Copies of this chain bind each other. A is one copy, B any other.
Amino acid sequence: MTQTPSTPLSATEKAGPLPRQRRTYSIGELARMFEVTTRTIRFYEQEGLLAPERRGQTRIYDEKDRVRLKLTLRGKRLGFSLAEIREVVMMYDAMPDGNRRQLRRLIEILTDKRRNMERQLEDIRLMQLELDDVERRARDVLEGLGD
C-alpha cells in the first residue's frame, strides 16, 4: 500500500507521451553501458546505493536503477564519496514521508554540495588557466628547438 509512485531522480527526463516500456537490464548490460565492472555494481548495491529486483537469484535492473547508477557515477567523477551519495539518495527516497527535521537536513546537505560545486567551478577555471600557461610555454620551447 505504501507504493510510492517511484519517480526516479530526474531533472532531465523527457516525460514523453509514449507508453514507457518496462525495459530491464542485466548486470552485464549495465556494466558495459557505463564501462564499469559487475563487481562495482554489486558493490554499490552492498553499499545501499542500488536495490534491484531478483528473478530467482539473478538481479534485474530497471530504468530507475539505471538512472541511479548514472547519477552515482557522475557524483563519483565529481569527487563525492559513496557514503555522501548514499546519504542524498536515501533521503530522497525517504522524502515523501520525511519529517521536517529530515527535510531540513536534506536541504542543508544540498546547499553544502552546491557550495562544493561552486568551488569546483572556480578551481576548474583556475586550473584551465594554469594548463593554458604550461602548454603555451611548452609550445614555445618546442618552437625554440626548431620545429
* A interface residue numbers (CB < 8 A to B): 9-12, 71, 74-75, 77-79, 88, 92, 95-96, 98, 100, 103-104, 106-107, 110, 113-114, 117, 119-121, 123-124, 126-135, 137-139, 141-142, 145
Count this chain's copies in the assembly: 2
Mostly helix, strand, loop or mixed at chain A's interface? helix
Q: Give the chain B neighbours of A92 by CB distance below 8 A.
A: 134
Of A9, A113, A132, A134, chain B has the most CB atoms within 10 Å of the CB of: A134
Are B134 and A110 touching (Cβ within 8 A)? yes
A124 in contact with B134 (CB, 8 Å): no
Question: With A138-B95, A138-B106, A141-B96 in contact, do A133 and B10 touch (Cβ < 8 Å)?
Answer: yes
CA distance A124 to B115 in the complex (A): 11
Q: Which residues of B contact A114 (CB under 8 A)?
A: 128, 131
| A11 lies within 8 A of B77 (CB) | no
* Min CB–CB distance A116 → chain B (angstroms): 9
